[in-house]
Amino acid sequence: MINCIFCKIINGELPAAFVYKDSEMVAFADINPKAPVHILVVPVIHFESLRDVDSRHEKILGKMMVKVKEIAEKQGISDGGYKIIINNGKGVGQLVFHLHVHILGGWKKSPGWQV
């Protein structure tokens, strides 16, 4: 997608603080964090939201969920708990129309943040 900010990050056209990257997905810190730890997990293949998935996407969606768990562990937020959020559409706050999973946590480390 030409104007997709996440596609530009994936293609190296824009910088990001990557915590994971392979040929199928990337994960990087959100530039406008809503929690002490706020990571985005993004598939390399472009589709807007869960409304666009079908059986062809089962493997990547499953891999993303496994990677969410691993990233939470590596970020040190697994034991304290974390949220995962997938916004599907403008009406619920989706701002970038490339499917992505938000990992939010770390409140125990920074008690001033609101859950």
Given 38, 98, 100, 102, the catalytic residue: 100
Determine the length of the chain: 115
26 touches 9 (CB < 8 A): yes
Among 33, 28, 24, 22, smallest CA distance to 6 is for 28
Two structure tokens written together for 41? 């997990």
How many angstroms separate the Cα of 83 from the Cα of each of 35, 58, 78, 103? 10, 21, 10, 6
100 classed as catalytic: yes
The catalytic site residues sit at 100
